[in-house]
Chains A and B, each alone.
Chain A
Amino acid sequence: MIRLLLRVLGHEHARPVRRTVALMTVTAVVEGLSYALLVPLLRALLGGAPADAWPWVSAFGAAVAGYAVLRYLSDLAGFRVGTTLLRGAYDRLGDHLARLPVGWYDEGRVGEVSVLAGRGVMQAMSVIAHLLAPFVSAAVTPLTIVAVMLAVDWRMGLAAAAAAPVVAAIQVWAGRATAAADAARADRDRESTGRVVEYLQAQPVLRAGGRTAERFGLLDDSLREVQRASRRSTLSALPGALGLALTVQVLFTALLVLGAHLALGGAIGAPEVLAVLVLAARCADPLLSLAEIGGRLRGARSALVGLDAVLRAEPLPQVPDPVRPDRHDLEFDRATFGHGDRTVIEGLSLTVPDGQRLAVVGPSGAGKSTLLHLLARFHDVTSGAVRMGGVDVRAMSTEDLAARIAIVFQHVYLFDGTIEENVRLGRPDADDAALRAAATAARLDEVVERLPDGWATNVGEGGALLSGGERQRVSIARALLKDAPVVLLDEVTSALDPVNEVAVHEGIERLVAGRTVVMVTHRPRTARHADRVVFLDGGRIVESGGHDELLRGGGPYSEYWEIAMAPSAE
């Protein structure tokens, strides 16, 4: 557990964690040892010499004071280490997430990572700050007390010591028994969260289809699955908890019987027996709490395992000494890319000379967007190479590559902030004049003018407070401001209404002027303005050439536009 924790947090944090655990252990041992003083104390009080008890009471008082100081220190150390680790874990996670390829973030991952980073890290840290101290204390204090018992009376001590391996075995066994059920439950929980999100997001569709909760079986099934899994996980934890309680109680009963027997036989004095039984009572409570603490620790463990899995995901490899290309022609050299077991791009070769425009046309699922993603290195090719200015994109530094490419996506994501902040993302050090110029070119200026707060208008999470066309203008302004030599456009205008489309087109024209451009498009007009067109289907280039030339050729490309433009009679 600790080892897993340290791996997740990075080993530079190993020392403070170990120190804190050591401090907690010492505190627990001191607590246990302080109880040893109860034996002479009780012997004096119960043995008929109560006046002799006072020195022992003072000694016990001193021990308790020492324990108090240690406990305060170890609590504080727990908190402090917890926060250090929290910061460390977030730094690590943040750095790592930034290095993972964009392709890693599929739909499920986004939710998973959000939950992990939001709650998982916190939960993992609570292990240190809250649970570790009780756990150490619950395990170590009884052991120390057993040692004290051994010193008082070996027979009763031995009886108590015999329980230790049983308790340990039960803890381990309970951990294993519940692990599977807990994992299953976590799966069901995740599944059900996914269904709930789906249910919420699909509300319009579901309502239009007359499917409210009662009639949306998928959600109800998953909620019921959660209930079942939860019941199973509870049932699997029950034997462990009961076993522990049983052991502790058998131990106490055994000591009671053994103590009575020894005292009746005169083998040991009554005060000693009673002192040992008082000590035994001190053992029982912490031991019984072990089950609960163990359960909570296991809960935190699953969060740690998840974090560990994310941190182990391979980021895109970086070269130690990156090459900086001096031109911006683009080249695919027998590039092949597969996602899962599906080949998306297959042995594709293609060049775009510096400053030229390439249009990529083809049916849905042909791999058009993937082509752009490979250029921007959201993924790495499985075989072959993608080059910029003759340099393999894998040999460039990520920052350099990102700096040379401006991308405009079909679906625009804006950060929850002002319009200005989102545009400035393109070039944070841009002056106001450049910002205004980019906005004008993207026809964002008219949007800004219309909004009550102008540039300072908040766009909401993901840009939700702007309309699709407005978002797209922001993203084009962002790309214009970035002023990168390579521009990638992914069906930029497909989601826009005619008015917005005209506006956005003008922005695009300004954006692409004089740059190397690859644009995925479904508009003949856009394709016509390209220097060259490739028609993509099934991850391969089926046809390539000039727009007019291809249209005249009567191949798949002209057929494609034929369908698109044919009158609607059918």
Chain B
Amino acid sequence: MYQNSSESTGAGGAGLTGLLRPHVAGFSAVLVLQVVGAVAGLAPLLAVVELGRVLLRTGPVDHGRVWAVVAVGAAGLLVRLLLTAASAGIGHALDDRVQLAFRRRLAAHLGRVPLGWFSRRRTGELAKVVGEDVSAVHPVIAHAPGELVSAFAVPLVSLVYLVAVDWRLTLVTLAPVALAVALVPLMMTPSRLREQEEFDAAMGRIASAVVEFVQGIAVVKAFGGAGRAHRRFRTAVDGFVDAFLRWVRGISGIAAGMQLALSPPFVLLVVLTGGTALITHGAMAPADLLPFLLLGLGLTAPVAALGHGFDDLQAARRALGRIRDVLDVPPLPEPVRPVAPRGHRVELRGVRFGYGTGSDTGSDTGSDTGSDTGSDTGSDTGSDTGSEVLRGIDLVLEPGTLTAVVGPSGGGKSTLVALLPRFFDPTGGSVLLGGVDLREIDARELHRTVSFVFQDVRLLRASVAENIALAVPHADPDDVVRAARAARIHDRVVRMPRGYESVIGVDAGLSGGEAQRISIARALLADAPVLVLDEATAFADPWTERAVRRVLAPSADRTVLVIAHRLETVADADTVVVLEDGVVAERGSPDELLARDGRFAALWRSHRSALVDESREDVTR
């Protein structure tokens, strides 16, 4: 899977076909079994016809022939039963396998697209692509070919037979089918299609109104906003009902006409009228009417199948479109011949970055992740999406130094630090590690070298040990415990029902501060030479704060880049970078910058007077 991802870059469709290729033989078998089974199903009907011919013949009845006919009919039924059962069984087994392959493929691809792409997508919608949309596609791949082919093969066989019996009555029998087909274009007029689209859109609005209603429930309750959220919800529902009724009104007459034309009573009526006319005029033997009564109804099958499968087919086509959209997103390119970095010096050269550029069309603007986290990398851009967030950054992080980034919100801090673990590639300039462009470095090598402590802590619903050892899957349990101790979470873990094996969210819930300490333990265990850290929520409690400080403690072999939120951190830094409007406004050691009396000095003073002095006084008093 890893290899074929690069060749299918930008060609999701080709990738999907590739997934199906190994199963072609299986699908063909399903198809053949289904068609043969369906055709065999004609045998009992033909047996009735033959029975009629034998019985209605003047003169003595040939008993042997009667029983032979009955036997053939019964055998046909048996064959049909066996073959359809076999095709259903094999078909489903294949289905499941194909679905799994699709889902794995999607997951693998999503693990490689630039992270910036995620911040513009709703997580729920993406999860729907992997889940529901794949499920919606499968009947089309697995069943539709067989159903469609039998829907045409069986009537075709019947048609040949019926024409041989009486071509005039065959034409009469086809009249309802022709009528139904004539109605089809009426269902596809632009206004009908527009109504269908409105209907889909209205359905989508309900879903998002619900999500908003539920996710914002605390605010809704606290602000008596229930009315508003509720209203929005109701408006969406009313809109949907209206769209639905419009759609039904537009389509019901035609649909009813079509259904009636294909309904057994109507077809029988047509056949009997034509048959009676032919028989009374002596143009046809009465026994010849029987095949039309029995097989004639089957001629409607193709149209009925098309009509019946049409909704599913449409839904599947849309689902497939969404799957392709995801697979078509170009992944962050992987180097063909990775270069190993020499040393851990990090250098940014003329780095520019804009979220609006690149692969992202940015059609929808929203992000699940932003709703319950602090500010994530995507939201740092604020509302000025499309413009550049970083406009030419030059920066060197020497090994063993602590560099603090400060500056107003929206200045590009989160984006800057996200470039180091290569969540994004810069749109201009380059980021180098050990003299090598990040784009030239093997992903695993990069992840071993750069670790990241997030402002937005994500713990997995997995054991504490697994969560801590996320970046070091085969970590020694002792090392895990050591990291947990250093991050001051060990005592809490030991108190959990199953200790380090407790599953987070199942065996034990963690507070924000505790979750953060887990993520700090994670970084400590990874022990990467370059550490990127965002201090934002690092104040959940004193213990967490201490753990953070431990990570930040100067160390000869660790390079640290931190978005600083505390003056202590800033004061300890070797270099302070003031980032404003995507450019470095000031840089230097804290003392230099204070002496310069520029922006940093102003920031320092306002912050100091506002917060720190008093608290220092308090404790030291």
Contacts and interface: CB of A to CB of B under 8 A. Distances in A.
Contacts of A234: 92-93, 96
Given A98-B220, A461-B122, A468 B208 contact: no
Interface string A510-545: 000000000000111100100000000000000000
A464 B222 CA distance: 20
Given A256-B48, A491-B540, 12 more contacts: A46-B56, A79-B244, A91-B234, A94-B233, A198-B458, A210-B444, A210-B448, A277-B51, A281-B294, A425-B223, A547-B618, A568-B549
B367 A277 contact: no
Interface stretch (A152-160, A321-329, A496-504): A496-504
B187 interface: no
A68 interface: yes
A198 B460 contact: yes
A409 interface: yes
A89 B378 CA distance: 37
B380 A399 contact: no
Given A94-B213, A468-B409, A246 B81 contact: yes
B265 A50 contact: no
A277 B48 contact: yes
Interface string A540-565: 00000001100100000000111111
B223 A482 contact: yes
Given A90-B234, A207-B423, A416 B212 contact: yes
Contact of A67 (B99, B107, B265): B265
24 contacts: A53-B272, A71-B259, A86-B240, A91-B234, A95-B230, A118-B206, A118-B211, A252-B77, A256-B73, A263-B51, A364-B541, A378-B218, A406-B222, A413-B216, A413-B219, A450-B382, A461-B208, A467-B410, A502-B607, A502-B610, A522-B541, A560-B542, A564-B546, A570-B549
Given A105-B217, A252-B44, A399-B224, A238 B546 contact: no
Contacts of A72: 252, 256, 260
B99 to A, nearest CB: 7
A260 B537 CA distance: 85
Contact of A409 (B95, B218, B458, B615): B218
Interface string A377-410: 0100000000000000000001100110111011
A468 B458 contact: no
Contacts of B540: 364, 491, 494, 522
Nearest to A250: B77
A2 interface: no
Interface size classification for chain A: 35 or more
A413 B215 contact: yes
Interface in B264-301: 264-266, 268-269, 272-273, 275-276, 279-280, 286-287, 289-290, 293-294, 297
Contacts of A433: none
B234 A524 contact: no
Given A83-B244, A214-B1, A378-B218, A208 B123 contact: no
Contact of B207 (A118, A200, A399, A478): A118
A85 to B, nearest CB: 10
B608 to A, nearest CB: 9
Interface in B423-459: 423, 443-444, 447-448, 450-452, 454-456, 458
A122 B536 CA distance: 42
A419 to B, nearest CB: 10
Nearest to B80: A249
B537 to A, nearest CB: 5
Interface in A191-208: 192-208
Contacts of A79: 244-245, 248, 252
B536 A466 contact: no
A230 interface: yes
B512 interface: yes
B213 to A, nearest CB: 7
B367 A495 contact: no
Interface stretch (B62-70, B316-324, B346-354, B390-398): B62-70
Interface string B27-62: 000000000000000001101100110011000010
A463 B407 CA distance: 22
A218 B66 contact: no
Contacts of A57: 269, 272-273, 276
Nearest to B371: A462
Interface in A399-451: 399, 402-403, 405-407, 409-411, 413-416, 425-426, 428, 450-451
B263 interface: yes
Contacts of B287: 46
A415 B216 contact: yes
A34 interface: yes
A266 to B, nearest CB: 9
A90 B222 contact: no
Contacts of B2: 214
B115 interface: yes
A204 B453 CA distance: 10
Contact of A500 (B78, B124, B272, B409): B409
B473 interface: yes
A63 interface: yes
Given A57-B272, A461-B212, A528 B223 contact: no
A523 B611 contact: yes
Interface residues of B, number: 192
B545 interface: yes
A34 B406 CA distance: 84
Contact of A522 (B372, B539, B572): B539
Interface stretch (A109-117, A161-169, A173-181): A109-117
B221 A561 contact: no
Contacts of B419: none
B237 A87 contact: yes
A561 B123 contact: no
B47 A256 contact: yes
A453 interface: yes
Contacts of A277: 48, 51
Interface stretch (A11-19, A219-227, A301-309, A346-354): A219-227
Contact of A200 (B95, B126, B280): B126
Interface string A215-250: 110111001101100110010001001100110010
B565 interface: yes
Contacts of B67: 260
A113 B510 CA distance: 23
Contacts of B279: 45, 50, 53
Interface in B337-375: 365-375
Contacts of A320: none
A249 B44 CA distance: 9
Nearest to A122: B203
B51 to A, nearest CB: 6
B594 interface: no
A568 B553 contact: yes
A51 B280 CA distance: 6
B409 A46 contact: no
Contact of B272 (A41, A90, A111): A41
Contacts of A41: 272, 276
B221 A568 contact: no
Interface in B375-408: 375, 377-380, 382-385, 406-408
A376 interface: yes
Contact of A61 (B208, B269, B455): B269
Contacts of B536: 468, 495-497
B603 interface: yes
B118 interface: yes
A229 to B, nearest CB: 9
Given A105-B214, A227-B97, A467-B379, A403 B372 contact: no
